[in-house]
Structure 1
Amino acid sequence: MQATDFIVARNDLQQCKVIETQLPDAAALPDEALLVKVTRFAFTANNITYAVLGDHLKYWQLFPAPDGFGNVPVWGLGEVIASKHPGIAAGETLFGYFPMATHLVIEAADVNKRGLRDAAAHRQGVSPVYNAYTRVSGDPAFADKQGDYQALLRPLFALSFIADDFLAENEFFGAKRVLLSSASSKTAYGLAHLVHARGIETIGLTSAGNASFVKSLGCYDEVVIYDDVNSLPEDQPVAYVDMAGNSPLRATLHQHFSEQMKYSGIIGLTHRKSSPGEAAQALPGGGAKPQFFFAPDHIRKRAKEWGPGGFDMRFGAAWAGLVPKLDHWMKVSEHRGPAAVQRAYLDTLNGRVPPDQGLILSLSE
């Protein structure tokens, strides 16, 4: 039997193709290994950030591809179709980080009733969250549309949650308003939802084409298109969360707010004309020096402070507060087969996916 992988050229993300590989023989799997069929996965602009930072943050090493190519990591669901681990049965459903592929071999370790870890050597040296799989068989929170929401938003909302916690812990660096670029992105509006609930004024920065959608979300106090950012009053302290990695916009905002720019954090790189290296540097106009926000560092800090289960409990409560809004905020569409996956990838890469659309994909027809 054949397995199918969707791969992209690491030095030119516009170049992509589908390849066929030999599916491992279930009987020949190593001890404690699992053969998992990737049933469906989400694809968002965040996955483009994974590709842009593939070398910088070791994303390409997670799912090896032929020389010069990479397999973009995605969040999704998979079914165990063969198991050499005594504690895991064929037919189980796993939620976690998968390749854009039809199958994955997992070297199961640290197995417990809630989940497991992939101990494959090439997957070490990255944040543990990327190697963890949750056992979700029979869990209604991962069934049907709820499962789609989990794949599309849960990992992004975890970033929103930890960014909100970081800002709150630092009392928003003395800022009275929080500005978010790429305000239509899922991570941005998840963060806006949390910050707004704290009573902090949230301002969404977006393109003219996405302004109506961003206004409809109801989690921004004000929506400003990029061309009009200089109309914002510059006499109050602000914190800026950059979801786009847009260096010219960042420079404009720093020039405009000067010393009133109390925090300038970079979370995403959806604006691919900017490079990771140019982002974190002092800018004219004064104010806080831009810095990358690396969520795993703050997660590790909170995991120690909050103790066993503390992070999951707090995040679960925040997620429960978000879920009722998702039917209004997002239309989920499912696309199957290699051609559909390629089309969805290129549409996302080139900014052709409407902000209210959530893409669920599968390489299986």
Structure 2
Amino acid sequence: MKSTDFIVIRNNLQQCKMIEMHLPDPAALPTDALLVKVSRFAFTANNITYAVIGEQLKYWHLFPAPEGYGIIPVWGFGEVLASKHPDVEIGETLFGYFPMATHLVIEASDVSKRGLRDAAAHRQEVSPVYNAYARVSGDPTYAGRQGDYRALLLPLFMLSFLVDDFLAENDFYGARNVILSSASSKTAFGLAHLLHQRQGIRVIGLTSNGNVGFVTSLGCYDEVVTYDHITAMPAAEPVAYVDMAGNSALRETLHRHFGARMVYSGRVGLTHRASEPDEPALPGAKPVWFFAPDQIRKRAKEWGPGGVDQRFSAAWAGLAPRLPEWLDVIERRGPSEVREAYLDTLQGRVPPKQGLILSLAE
């Protein structure tokens, strides 16, 4: 058997190709191993962020590729084709972190009724969340279009949820105005949806001229400002800035405009991929990376077993009904379609209202 893998040159993401890799004979799988067919996966600008910081956060280690190349991780669904684990059946559906490929071999560990973990040695340098797979066979909330929404937004909305919780825990550092760059991105509008429900918090979205209509239509931003008008914003009150764009010039402009009234500057995303390695010292709060695993660990300890899941599930239940009006799911299948979708996302050509669900299988 062979797997088709979509690989990119790590230091030149524009260069990509398909390769075929040999898979082990299902009958010869090691004890507890699973052979999984990757049936469909979501692809968003967040996956490009995984590639941009793949070296830094060890994402390239998850799914080995030829020297100099990498396989971008994606969130999606897989079907168990062969199982050497006594508690995992052929035909089961798994939801989790997969390669852009047609197949994956998982070393199943910590198997429970709800999920399992890939114990492969090369995968252990990342946060445990990336090695966990939910067993979702027969679960209607993971089936059909609901499953597509989960693949597209669930991991991103967890980040939105954690940023919202972190800011609220710190009383927004004294600010009542929260500015989000790349306001049309899925992580940003998930966060805006949560912030909009908080008493006394005003949410300002920064976006391009072409995305103003979409961002305004979401109904969760109190104000929408285009990038060419940010210095016209009033600068008399404290603001908290959540940077989804990762644009050094934009960040500097905002800091110099608000000065000491920039009381929080959190770096979350890299949708613009325009960060400079050596940035000058800026007025206001020092820009810091928001590291989601730290907040999860903190809250898991404070809220006890199941506390994070319970609160996140309630937040997701509030978001899910809005998604059919906010997103059009576009399905694309086969190597050439996946390549085109990847390059469109890399170049920022995918309209924000579109959610891409891909499969390398024809």
User: Same fold, TM exceeding 0.5?
Assistant: yes
Q: Deviations over 1:28-83 (max 9, x none)?
A: 11100000000000000000000000101100000000001000000000000100
Deviates more, 1:19-28 or 1:118-127: 19-28
* Corresponding residue for residue 282 of structure 1: 281
Q: Superposition pairs for residues 234-249 of structure 1, below 5 Å?
A: 234-249=235-250
Question: What is the SS of the residue equivalent to 1:197?
Answer: coil
One-letter code of the match for 2:291? F
Q: For residues 249 and 272 of structure 1, what CA distance do their matches in structure 2 show? A: 12
CA apart distance, 1:23: 2.1
* Corresponding residue for residue 221 of structure 1: 222
Question: What is the SS of the residue equivalent to 2:298?
Answer: helix
Matched, 1:180 2:180: yes
One-letter code of the match for 1:3? S
Q: Which runs of 5+ in 2 are unaligned?
A: none
Q: Superposition pairs for residues 308-327 of structure 1, below 5 Å?
A: 308-327=305-324
* Corresponding residue for residue 259 of structure 2: 258
CA apart distance, 1:162: 0.3
Q: TM-score, with normalisation over the residues of structure 1?
A: 0.98
Q: Does the aligned pair in 2 maintain the 1:32–1:85 contact within 8 Å? A: yes
Q: Deviations over 1:259-313 (max 9, x none)?
A: 10010000011222314x446x631xx2100000010111111111111111000
Question: What is the SS of the residue equivalent to 1:56?
Answer: coil
One-letter code of the match for 2:238? P
One-letter code of the match for 1:62? L
* Corresponding residue for residue 45 of structure 2: 45
Q: Deviations over 1:208-241 (max 9, x none)?
A: 0111100000000000000000111000110000
One-letter code of the match for 1:303? A
Q: Deviations over 1:310-334 (max 9, x none)?
A: 1000000000000000001000010
* Corresponding residue for residue 340 of structure 1: 337
* Corresponding residue for residue 171 of structure 2: 171
Question: What is the SS of the residue equivalent to 1:202?
Answer: strand
Q: What is the aligned residue count?
A: 361
Q: Deviations over 1:106-127 (max 9, x none)?
A: 0000110100110000000110
* Corresponding residue for residue 205 of structure 1: 206
Q: For residues 55 and 306 of structure 2, what CA distance do their matches in structure 1 show? A: 32
Q: For residues 273 and 14 of structure 2, what CA distance do their matches in structure 1 show? A: 12
One-letter code of the match for 1:192? A
Q: For residues 120 and 281 of structure 2, what CA distance do their matches in structure 1 show? A: 40
One-letter code of the match for 1:338? P
Question: What is the SS of the residue equivalent to 1:311?
Answer: helix
One-letter code of the match for 1:43? F
Q: For residues 88 and 13 of structure 1, what CA distance do their matches in structure 2 show? A: 36
Structure 2 residue corresponding to 1:356, chosen from 344, 353, 361: 353
Q: Superposition pairs for residues 80-159 of structure 1, below 5 Å?
A: 80-159=80-159
* Corresponding residue for residue 272 of structure 2: 271
Q: Does the aligned pair in 2 maintain the 1:282–1:290 contact within 8 Å? A: no
Q: For residues 81 and 38 of structure 1, what CA distance do their matches in structure 2 show? A: 10
Q: Which runs of 5+ in 1 are unaligned?
A: none
State the identity as a percent. Answer: 73
Matched, 1:79 2:79: yes
Q: For residues 274 and 166 of structure 2, what CA distance do their matches in structure 1 show? A: 28
* Corresponding residue for residue 57 of structure 1: 57
Q: TM-score, with normalisation over the residues of structure 2?
A: 0.99
Q: For residues 234 and 227 of structure 1, what CA distance do their matches in structure 2 show? A: 16
